[in-house]
Chains A and B, each alone.
Chain A
Amino acid sequence: MEKRSNLTRRDLSQAINEQLGFPRNSAGELVDEVFTCLKQTLLKKEKIKLVQFGIFTVRQKSARVGRNPRTGETMEITKRCMVSFKASKQLRARINK
């Protein structure tokens, strides 16, 4: 099977360094800045819409009764928030091409 690779912050900062000519250390800082900014926005429970890529939303999940799969014990799962992502039509089309 063909080996799948994993994209990380390092690859992103390398691309910014090579394609845009930013020095290496500031390229790394820029990548961190972008994701910190996205994170801060989600922490404010605000959604993020990135055209061509997708939408990140913070969804409220209501409390429900769950079960510990290991012990079988029932327990209350508290009300919580979660981040979800929906890929844009363009992104889905690219992946399925």
Chain B
Amino acid sequence: MNKSGLIEAITNETKLPQREACAVINTILDLMTDSLAKGDSIELRGFGSFVVKEYKSYQGRNPKTGQKIKVKPKKLPFFKVGKDLKERVNS
């Protein structure tokens, strides 16, 4: 499923015009992006949570050439699946 699939599903479910369903989804994703960019976490009960993890600089290797490279410190968002989703995806 991609964004237009999601918009279509929301349109069918809520009877909202497509343009409004699109605006709702974009508002949600924009706010989530802004929060992660600030370093904030996101907690969505029943779905999961996002936290930004900081990684220090480390000595890495180019897997193709074997060349040693220095990896700069970076931040990455990490998603933790919520309990309900985790259990149900297995049953």
Q: Which A residues are within 8 Å of any B CB, using their own CB?
A: 4-9, 11-12, 15-16, 19-20, 22, 29-31, 33-35, 37-39, 41-43, 45-54, 56, 58, 80-85, 87, 91-92, 94-97
Q: Chain B residues near A80 (CB, 8 Å)?
A: 90
Known pairs A7-B41, A8-B44, A39-B46; A95 contacts B90 (CB<8 A): no
Q: How far, in Å, is A53 (CB) from chain B's closest CB?
A: 5
**Beta-carbon contact of B33 and A92 below 8 Å:** no
**Beta-carbon contact of A37 and B13 below 8 Å:** yes
Other CB < 8 Å A-B pairs besides A35-B47, A95-B52, 4 of them?
A11-B31, A12-B31, A37-B9, A85-B78
Q: Chain A residues near B90 (CB, 8 Å)?
A: 80-81
Select the residue from A29, A47, A83 with max chain B CB neighbours within 10 A: A83
**Beta-carbon contact of B10 and A52 below 8 Å:** no
Q: Which residue of A is nearest B40, CB measured?
A: A5
CA distance A47 to B9 in the complex (A): 15
CA distance A30 to B28 in the complex (A): 10
Within 8 Å of chain A (Cβ to Cβ): is B32?
yes
14 inter-chain pairs at a CB distance below 8 angstroms, sorted by A residue, are A7-B40, A16-B27, A34-B10, A34-B28, A37-B10, A43-B89, A83-B79, A84-B79, A91-B33, A94-B33, A95-B37, A95-B39, A95-B77, A96-B75
Q: Chain A residues near B69 (CB, 8 Å)?
A: none
CA distance A45 to B1 in the complex (A): 11
Known pairs A4-B40, A34-B28, A85-B79; A50 contacts B3 (CB<8 A): yes
Q: Chain A residues near B85 (CB, 8 Å)?
A: 39, 42-43, 83
CA distance A12 to B35 in the complex (A): 11
Q: How far, in Å, is A79 (CB) from chain B's closest CB?
A: 9
